[in-house]
């Protein structure tokens, strides 16, 4: 009989993680490394990545500066990972930016910039990684979406961000359908409200915290460790018959 806990192990697998310099990205790096993966940390702030590498459990991790809006950076990231490990087993598209402005005044430059990183960059990286995965018989892609790609709020105006995450969610389904018989599984985890660098202003204000408590069915925001299980489930063999899934981790926010 298979030990159920072994299904969640990632021993020896190579995982690229974008947006690894803060918040959810730091937590995900720790979780992937703790499960036995060799983690390639990617983000723009290389100093933070280099410090994080020294703290991760296990060995064989590396850090690479990467701006997902720059095609050359994406090519360099994939090339460096393949040069060192000869394969990529897992890709976690976690990088994202947000610019909050009412839709009627949001500059098109801002809208395009958010989509370029959150959606276009994620697709460009996935495309390059998938080519290698197909040659090696498969792999796993986990896209980090958001509940704001599933529902609107109106009270936190960020049309570019919501559009990018909505696009990423349906891109997840499309890529899953295209690659299902080729060995690549593609799924998405959609966090609700968590205290991160991106949500600093919301959590700093008591009105913001009250808004979350009032509207979340569980009556509170999430703790970062509450995303661990969702990530490990989607990244590991525990979800071997799951592809095209969108998993909200939101305290019931999208259920009402």
Per-residue pLDDT 10s for the chain (256 aa) are 678 889 999 999 999 999 999 999 999 999 999 999 999 999 999 999 999 999 999 999 999 999 999 999 999 999 999 999 999 999 999 999 999 999 999 999 999 999 999 999 999 999 999 999 999 999 999 999 999 999 998 889 999 999 999 999 999 999 999 999 999 999 999 999 999 988 998 999 999 999 999 999 999 999 999 999 999 999 999 999 999 999 999 999 999 9
For 4-248, which CATH superfamily applies? NAD(P)-binding Rossmann-like Domain (3.40.50.720)
Burial 53-92 (b: 16+ CB within 10 A, else e): beebeeeebbbbbbbbbeeebbeebbebbeeebeebbbbb
Stated as kind and residue range, the H or E segment containing 186 is: strand 184-191
Which one-letter DSSP state was computed for residue 227? G
Q: Which of 177, 146, 180, 166 is nearest to 248 (CA)?
A: 146
pTM as predicted: 0.97
CA 220 – CA 214 distance, rounded (Å):
8
By annotation, the residues acting in catalysis are 161
- Dihedral of CA atoms 194, 198, 202, 204 in degrees, nearest 10, equals 90
Q: Which of 243, 241, 237 is nearest to 11 (CA)?
A: 237
């Amino acid at each position: 009989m298979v030990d159920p806990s072994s299904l969640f192990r990632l021993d020896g697998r190579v995982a690229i993680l974008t947006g690894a310099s803060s918040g959810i990205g730091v937590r995900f790096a720790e979780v992937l490394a703790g499960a036995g993966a060799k983690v390639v940390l990617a983000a723009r702030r290389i100093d933070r990545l280099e410090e994080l590498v020294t703290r991760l459990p296990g060995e064989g991790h590396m850090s690479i500066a990467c701006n997902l809006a720059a095609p050359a950076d994406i090519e360099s990231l994939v090339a460096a990972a393949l040069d060192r490990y000869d394969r990529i087993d897992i890709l976690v598209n976690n990088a994202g930016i947000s610019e909050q402005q009412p839709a009627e005044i949001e500059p098109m430059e801002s809208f395009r910039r958010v989509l370029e990183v959150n959606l276009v960059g994620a697709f460009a990286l996935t495309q390059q990684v998938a080519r290698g995965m197909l040659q090696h018989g498969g792999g796993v892609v986990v896209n980090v979406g958001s509940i704001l790609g599933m529902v609107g709020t109106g009270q936190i105006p960020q049309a570019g961000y919501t559009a990018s995450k909505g696009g990423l969610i349906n891109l997840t389904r499309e890529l899953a359908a295209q690659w299902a018989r080729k060995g690549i599984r593609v799924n998405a985890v959609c966090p609700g409200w968590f205290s991160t660098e991106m949500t600093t202003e919301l959590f700093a204000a008591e009105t913001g915290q009250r808004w979350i408590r009032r509207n979340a069915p569980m009556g509170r925001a999430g703790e970062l460790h509450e995303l661990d299980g969702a990530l490990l489930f989607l990244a590991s063999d525990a979800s071997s018959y799951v592809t095209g899934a969108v998993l909200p981790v939101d305290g019931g926010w999208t259920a009402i």
